[in-house]
């Protein structure tokens, strides 16, 4: 694990393998001025001559710079100072760090503005972990030590914690399905809880049956791997404070069941537990930061496979809250898992509940690869979440929840069915299905089918699991109940 230390040593005097320095395109920071002076205006001339414009995420590496003790100087653009934001800080720092992470470096010195320093530190941590976790030799390496030019130990510590929590989420998503399945995901959550400081209770298939979690069990019955449900509790406030409930979909592999996916659509379905990973990562960050808030995380963990025992189209299942559900598509399984888990959460008395799920391809069609869909029965909760997401730079968009979409999930033989009428508005009809299981509790559903996973690497993060909305949940937890 990378060691992060603050330092007051000047950029000219610090002895490191590499210096990473953030540059605005329209103004000069004190360390940038010192670099220009120490290098006889070499760096200043690069900018004046258009060799480095300092556009956001632009990276230029200079080996063996004259006037510095470091072996290399990496310049990274921050864009115009008026536009500088947590997202730009994180991505710029990540872009620079990822450029260097192919090498094993002992000591990196980091010079960035004090503003948004937490996000920049998180960017370094995230950039230095890849999805090549099972290679004999990984291609992306974490630095041994990072000296941060700042006296703000608290912001550096928080950035390190949040970055590690994002990586914990990404690591879970990136694990192959023969290694990560309901039992082992539950074991990982227990280990994370013990380390971070939150309690974890695991329900096995016997407890799930006694708790009448029949829709969850129906999805799980096609697999030889037994299901699990997690309850993760962190109490950072007194008993009179409200409790935020977080719910995550944890389908560790989704074949589609009898509504079988084609191979191209099935290959990356190890990521279908991205909602559970988001909740676990957020719980880790909230607990390690010791935030003054009460949070309970719930995750339903199953595999959706095909066998002689798998649930079938036309089955009618009695859910935990008493509603009967007719199965019209076994690939619409995530909402069945969440139905029972949401019922557990609301009956345990959480004051607000936010669920995360890689739920629908329809949300991808509507909003693309990088934007999550928001669906709610409580506008204030949705606004709080959207504000937190906007502040840290994670894309989301509220979708309609009008009653006509609820009409589409009515069944002729049961109370409701697990699909709408045809393919249109599928992300909304899925959300209307979930709404049937939250009673009057203020609730927000976040469909992360797009941003939870990326087939391709970006300048600031490797492909695979993206760790989306961990930062948003930290921000939301800081503001919750105030």
Catalytically annotated residues = 261, 335
134 Cα distance to chain centroid: 21
Who's near 334: CB < 8 A, 6+ residues apart? 249, 251, 254, 272, 275, 357, 358, 359
Q: From CA 353, how far away is CA 434, in angstroms rounded? A: 12
CB 247 within 8 A of CB 354: yes
397: CB partners within 8 A, 6+ apart: 367, 371, 372, 373, 374
Any long-range contacts for 419-422 (C-beta under 8 Å, 24+ apart)? 419/328, 419/329, 419/332
Q: Which residue do the tokens 């096609």 mark? A: 222
Place of tokens 């890849």: 130
- Dist CA 339 CA 388 (whole Å): 26
Nearest to 342 by CA among 436, 205, 275, 419: 436
Q: Which of these, 273, 209, 202, 277, lies nearest to 232 by C-alpha position?
A: 202
Cα gap 451→463, rounded to integer Å: 11
3-state secondary structure labels for all residues of 79-94: CCHHHCCHHHHHHHHH
> Among 54, 14, 12, 50, which Cα is nearest to 34's?
12
Rounded CA separation 307/222 (Å)? 5
List Cβ neighbours of 65 (8 Å cut-off, separation of 6 or more): 39, 42, 43, 72, 73
The span from the CA of 203 to the CA of 423, in Å, is 35
**Helix (H/G/I), strand (E/B), else coil: 195:** helix
**Is the distance from CB of 478 to CB of 291 less than 8 angstroms?**
yes
Helix, strand, or coil here: 332? coil
β-partners of residue 74 are 20, 61
Any idea which residue has 């653009």 for tokens?
A: 77
Give the side-chain half-sphere CA count within 13 A for 193: 23
**Residues facing 248 on adjacent strands:** 299, 356
């Amino acid at each position: 694990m990378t060691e992060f230390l603050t330092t007051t040593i000047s950029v000219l005097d610090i002895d490191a393998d590499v210096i990473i320095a953030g540059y605005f395109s329209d103004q000069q920071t004190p360390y940038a001025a010192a670099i220009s002076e120490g290098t006889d205006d070499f760096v200043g001339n690069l900018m004046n001559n258009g060799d480095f414009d300092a556009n956001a995420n632009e990276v230029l590496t200079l080996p063996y710079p004259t006037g510095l003790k470091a072996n290399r100087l990496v310049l990274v653009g921050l864009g115009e100072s008026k536009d500088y934001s947590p997202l730009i800080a994180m991505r710029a720092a990540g872009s620079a760090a990822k450029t260097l992470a192919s090498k094993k470096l002992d000591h990196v010195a980091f010079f960035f503005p004090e503003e948004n320093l937490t996000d920049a530190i998180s960017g370094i941590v995230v950039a230095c972990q890849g999805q090549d976790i099972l290679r004999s030799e990984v291609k992306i390496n974490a630095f041994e030590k990072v000296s941060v030019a700042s006296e703000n130990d608290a912001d550096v510590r928080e950035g390190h914690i949040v970055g590690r929590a994002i990586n914990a989420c990404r690591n879970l998503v990136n694990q192959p399905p023969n290694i990560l399945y309901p039992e082992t995901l539950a074991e990982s959550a227990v280990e994370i809880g013990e380390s971070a400081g939150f309690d974890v209770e695991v329900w096995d298939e016997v407890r799930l049956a006694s708790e009448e979690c029949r829709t969850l069990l129906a999805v799980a019955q096609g697999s030889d791997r037994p299901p699990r449900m997690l309850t993760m509790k962190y109490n950072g406030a007194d008993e009179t404070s409200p409790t935020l409930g977080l719910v995550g979909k944890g389908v560790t592999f989704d074949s589609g069941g009898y509504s079988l996916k084609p191979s191209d659509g099935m290959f990356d379905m190890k990521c279908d537990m991205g909602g559970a990973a988001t909740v676990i990562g957020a719980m880790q960050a909230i607990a390690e930061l010791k935030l003054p808030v009460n949070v309970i995380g719930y995750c339903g963990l199953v595999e959706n496979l095909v066998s002689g025992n798998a649930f079938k189209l036309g089955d009618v299942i009695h859910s935990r809250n008493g509603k009967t559900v007719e199965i019209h598509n076994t690939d619409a399984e995530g909402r069945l898992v969440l139905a029972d888990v949401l019922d557990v959460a609301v009956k345990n008395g959480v004051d607000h509940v936010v669920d995360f799920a890689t739920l629908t391809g329809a949300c991808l069609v509507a909003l693309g690869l990088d934007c999550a869909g928001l669906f709610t029965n409580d506008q204030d909760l949705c606004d709080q979440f959207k504000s937190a997401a906007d502040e840290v730079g994670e894309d989301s968009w509220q979708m309609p929840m009008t009653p006509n979409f609820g009409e589409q999930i009515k069944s002729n033989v049961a109370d409701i069915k697990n699909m709408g009428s045809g393919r249109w508005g599928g992300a909304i009809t899925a959300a209307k299905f979930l709404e049937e299981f939250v009673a009057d509790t203020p609730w927000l559903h976040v469909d992360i089918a797009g941003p939870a996973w990326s087939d391709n690497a970006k300048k600031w993060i490797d492909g695979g699991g993206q760790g989306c909305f961990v930062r948003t949940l930290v921000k939301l937890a800081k503001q919750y109940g105030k």
